[in-house]
Structure 1
């Protein structure tokens, strides 16, 4: 039996990460865990400002699934080193594998258009404006980061980006 894999997605809103994360979940039959959904659920049910609670709750849900042998897709901006390390700790604590996947759109015009034209898939979630995306704290990945696969979705169709991701994951896992 192969050990489960925690696929840890990262990237700014509008980069294409949720589209790729959902596609990978369909292909791998992994559990899909979207932080936006968790955080909005907390806001809706508990009526308080959500900060790190969505991530911490999601770490627990991911742990439960990994412990059962199910791979997990963690879909979040994952903007800082702290959350990146915490996701990796989730996998390491259960002797599971992990792969970091950073999704970006290097074409600012295309990225802005995506942000401005997209519609929320999560009930009651207010999507960020382009200015909020630009101003968002997002630490660049360290070139020494382990198990990191980078995908640039600029100028590519969804199908091309998915195919590239699958090919890179296949090559990475060899």
Structure 2
């Protein structure tokens, strides 16, 4: 299975996708980490364009073809990126599930964006203005929508596992 997370910066997608990956012992693929590694490699431009996503698709596909569950963590803002994740699942002959993470409380969302620290060395997090001005296409298909404004991580992860119908042994 490929579980594809998307959502604006500060919505809680990294926190949730990491917790779910740990709980399910799944491979965790984070585009932010890949993009920052590309920048740190000395590539002349700070704008990595689609390179981070393309690398993430390859890493995910390799692991899916090995029979591993993969959780993809990225803003995933465009139809083209979402379609590309689905193509990875199709080529790997696995089920794909899209999860959009939102924070419906705009005051809380802004607080998160403005106060969070980076956990990837050298990664500069976007400002609130950059977050709300970002191009973010509406989802063409109906993803599972998770609102982090009023529920805790464990509660959301538990509900996602039930919703996904995952019956494999889970770590505690």
Q: Do these two structures clear the TM 0.5 threshold for a shared fold by scoring above it?
A: yes
Q: CA deviation at 1:149?
A: 1.1
Q: Which whole-Å CA distance do the structure 2 matches of 1:162 and 1:15 have between them? A: 15
Indicate the SS of the match to 2:165.
Answer: helix
Q: Size of the alignment, in residue pairs?
A: 164
Q: Deviations over 1:44-101 (max 9, x none)?
A: 0033220100000111111110111111111000001000000000010111111001
Inter-partner Cα distance in structure 2 for 1:94 and 1:162: 25
Q: Partner of 2:118 in structure 1? A: 120
Q: Distance in 2 between matches of 1:169 and 1:112?
A: 30
User: Is residue 99 of structure 1 aligned with residue 94 of structure 2?
Assistant: no
Q: RMSD of the TM alignment (CA)?
A: 1.4
Q: Which runs of 5+ in 1 are unaligned?
A: none
Q: Is the 8 A contact 1:149 1:169 kept in 2?
A: no
Partners in 1 of 2:131 and 2:154 — Cα distance? Answer: 24
Q: How far 1:112 moved relative to its partner?
A: 0.3
Residues 1-174 of structure 1: pairs in structure 2 closer than 5 A: 5-47=1-43, 48=45, 49-142=47-140, 145=141, 148-170=143-165
Is the 8 Å Cα contact of residues 13 and 101 (structure 2) preserved in structure 1?
Answer: yes
Verify the 8 A CA contact 2:2 2:72 in the aligned structure 1. yes
Residue 110 of structure 2 contacts residue 128 of structure 2 at CA under 8 Å; is this kept in 1? yes
